[in-house]
Amino acid sequence: MKTSYVYILSNKNRTVFYTGVTANLTERMIRHREGKGSKFCAKYNVNTLIWFEIHLDIRDAIRRETQIKRWNRQWKIDMIMAKNPEMRDLLAKEGNADRFPLTRE
């Protein structure tokens, strides 16, 4: 099976969250940062990766995305804070440049 990702993006002030699923996180983040990832993200400047999880089956990733989208805001915040307590941009953290290079190959 192909690796898939469920991810949560936020805006600069961490007041808006967007949950998505993709088979290529790097390409999807490029699209979001170009303002082409989704109309919602472009409208609210949501382009900062603050949480993600990896799935080995896209069907599992889609189920998880659906589950998270149904959650209330506080549950999402609690889940994000468990892995990323400062809600930092995970692409800006040291050591992620090799894992998520924001360039097209």
69 Cβ partners below 8 Å, 6+ apart? 19
- Rounded Cα distance, 105 and 103, in Å: 6
Phi and psi at residue 103, in whole multiples of 5°?
-135, 150
The whole-number average pLDDT for the span 66-82 is 98
User: How do residues 3-14 score in pLDDT, each as one tens digit?
Assistant: 999 999 999 999
Superfamily of domain 4-83: GIY-YIG endonuclease (3.40.1440.10)
Vertex 44 angle, CA 99 and 22, to 5°: 35
Strand order through the sheet with 17-22:
17-22, 4-10, 48-55
The whole-number average pLDDT for the span 40-61 is 95
Taking 90 as the threshold, does the pLDDT of residue 97 lie above it? no
pLDDT band with cut points at 50, 70 and 90 for residue 92: confident
Is 1 or 21 the better-scoring residue by pLDDT?
21
- Rounded Cα distance, 43 and 81, in Å: 25
Domain residues of the chain, as ranges?
Answer: 4-83
Taking 70 as the threshold, does the pLDDT of residue 102 lie above it? no
Prediction pTM value: 0.87
